[in-house]
A and B are shown apart, each in its own frame.
Chain A
């Protein structure tokens, strides 16, 4: 066994190291977790003048994504109105870590503020903290970063509003009684599960007593899987009257299946969908109504919040107020969150007015 001598030595050294390390090291329970690292707190001055020519970076989950292009349009509109300079940049893939380089770059360029839709709330946190130490203000929108790594989060709509709205829409569509099912994204998606939990609470209310939730199916936010799951739901539950799909991928796939099947017009469908994807199905009667927030307003509000932060009018504390142009005066809620507002409902009557 002489020829394996180096390997044997390596294994012995490694096991010795392991044994040594085994006693009293840094573990999850004794490391005390993360201890923040944002900037020193200053006090807000609501009467401070709005700074001009601020340099703002708009960093979406990925570039060339239609949803974020619309949000970018809103951000540009607000930046122009306030006299700031906004530029958009970002990775071409929505990889967990791909935004870090762009965050570092924004800090390096001395940008005053960053508007970010985080791909991974934790992966971006160290870079954000370093950038904030240099004085850059960070506003997240659409999907949040770790709370201690950003100043303000613009939430598209409260979970309560989204979930309650979906239940109301399906109840209206099926006349208040019958069996329904939910077509979700992945089984452990945080936002989906939060919405489903609220939907269950809503369905327990007396006004929805005649509605029965048969099944929750998971289409994994994959077009083909969602399509097949819709088919499966309809086969398994012949009396199904309606489907809620609170994901843009799921609702589009379900609509496609329904529109080409004998269930068209008999089984109601609602969910979270974009007008462009769903226009055809809303117009041909497969889908009565869908909900979604306006991404342009999301970008707009994020820009107003960033400018207010960089001008010192707010610091991100609960209760502070800032002006957001056409969107009115907004108040910062718990954990530095600002909610955009109730989602929009798209029906045959208004779907043509929106382009995203």
Chain B
């Protein structure tokens, strides 16, 4: 726990550094209301999915199909809109379909006992394929302004993007779920030692199944946010986003082997990643460098806990 706390303080320091150095290097442009709005809008989709995925990874599982569920939800949204459905009905249907996608993953992992890495690599391709079946390679872009404003304008009188408001609410919900309920304690127990968890009466399969369903539903919700932000429903929306999300979760100090991690750390990591990317772009640093820095940070995040753990154990 000690090393974890230290990792989170390191992230907080890093975040302050990003903000201070970022503003200094860009002559103050970065640290403005508009700058914050841009950072918030850019990271919201990734941060939303990172919340349920944190729980999945703490339970020592993984879900790589999240970006494809996002794409499927975006495509479905476009297709149903074209069919003349009202958006008020489309949104819940899309989230239910996302939950179903998660349920399929959960079923394959818990009932058939397949490894989640393999299952979700498969469903990554499957759901993306379904997205193309649903919408083809067309784009639907005639959503009403009253809805797309959710993704493109800040809350009146502030620079807070609406998706960040949504993220804040869900962050509290998932934070409480993981850190303040028996369900959350069971998730940690499963990640730390599944056998022991099962013998102590925790319904391992049921909890894992719920985690996958939650992840699917939130990924679909993120798909809605994505579609409204870009005012464009496409089957290829969010391609490759799963790696960004996993990066945020791991950088947040969640152990890839399960059993350790906090929602707070993941929130900090999402802010660091989003802030850093935008600061580098505002400072006109080449895109390749941005990717390079993200990669280095991820390596550091996997590396640092391992090192601190070893040092605290006293073995070199």
Pairwise interchain contact A126-B230, C-beta atoms closer than 8 A: yes
Residue from B144, B230, B236, B286 within 8 A of A26 (CB atoms):
B144
B-side residues, CB < 8 A to A, are 26, 29, 32, 34-35, 38, 41-42, 81-82, 84-89, 92-93, 95-96, 136-139, 141-148, 151-153, 203, 206, 213, 226, 229-232, 234, 236-237, 239-240, 277-278, 281-282, 284, 286-288, 291
| 16 A-B pairs in the complex with CB atoms less than 8 angstroms apart | A3-B206, A7-B213, A26-B88, A27-B84, A27-B86, A28-B81, A31-B142, A89-B284, A96-B139, A107-B34, A109-B29, A120-B230, A120-B234, A146-B141, A188-B136, A188-B137
> A247: shortest Cβ distance to chain B, in Å?
16
Pairwise interchain contact B232-A24, C-beta atoms closer than 8 A: no
Interface 1/0s, chain A 89-111, versus B by CB < 8 A? 11111011100111011011110
Query: Which A1-44 residues have a C-beta within 8 angstroms of B?
Result: 3, 7, 14, 17-18, 20-22, 24-29, 31-35, 37
Residue from A26, A90, A120 within 8 A of B146 (CB atoms):
A26
Pairwise interchain contact B282-A123, C-beta atoms closer than 8 A: no
Known contacts A32-B144, A33-B144: does B231 contact A105 (CB below 8 Å)?
no
Counting CB contacts under 8 A, is A225 at the interface?
A: no
Chain A residues with CB under 8 A of B153: 130
Pairwise interchain contact B142-A21, C-beta atoms closer than 8 A: no
Q: Which 5 A-B pairs have the closest CB atoms?
A: A25-B86, A122-B141, A21-B88, A31-B144, A25-B88
Counting CB contacts under 8 A, is A63 at the interface?
A: yes
Chain B residues with CB under 8 A of A102: 281
Given the complex of chains A and B, what is the CA–CA distance between A14 and B42 in angstroms?
A: 29
> B166: shortest Cβ distance to chain A, in Å?
17
Chain B residues with CB under 8 A of A33: 142, 144
A-side residues, CB < 8 A to B, are 3, 7, 14, 17-18, 20-22, 24-29, 31-35, 37, 63, 87, 89-93, 95-97, 100-102, 104-105, 107-110, 120-123, 125-127, 130, 146, 186, 188
Given the complex of chains A and B, what is the CA–CA distance between A91 and B280 in angstroms?
A: 13
Pairwise interchain contact A96-B232, C-beta atoms closer than 8 A: yes
Main secondary structure of the interface of B (DSSP, over half): helix
Pairwise interchain contact A101-B88, C-beta atoms closer than 8 A: no
Given the complex of chains A and B, what is the CA–CA distance between A109 and B32 in angstroms?
A: 11
Residue from B86, B144, B230 within 8 A of A97 (CB atoms):
B230
Pairwise interchain contact A92-B138, C-beta atoms closer than 8 A: no
Residue from B84, B88, B239, B281 within 8 A of A28 (CB atoms):
B84
Chain B residues with CB under 8 A of A188: 136-138
Pairwise interchain contact B42-A101, C-beta atoms closer than 8 A: yes
Pairwise interchain contact B146-A34, C-beta atoms closer than 8 A: no
Known contacts A22-B89, A97-B230: does B288 contact A92 (CB below 8 Å)?
yes
Given the complex of chains A and B, what is the CA–CA distance between A169 and B142 in angstroms?
A: 40
Given the complex of chains A and B, what is the CA–CA distance between A91 and B226 in angstroms?
A: 18
Chain B residues with CB under 8 A of A95: 236, 239-240
Known contacts A21-B88, A22-B86: does B237 contact A96 (CB below 8 Å)?
yes
Pairwise interchain contact B139-A122, C-beta atoms closer than 8 A: yes
Pairwise interchain contact A122-B232, C-beta atoms closer than 8 A: yes
Pairwise interchain contact B92-A17, C-beta atoms closer than 8 A: yes
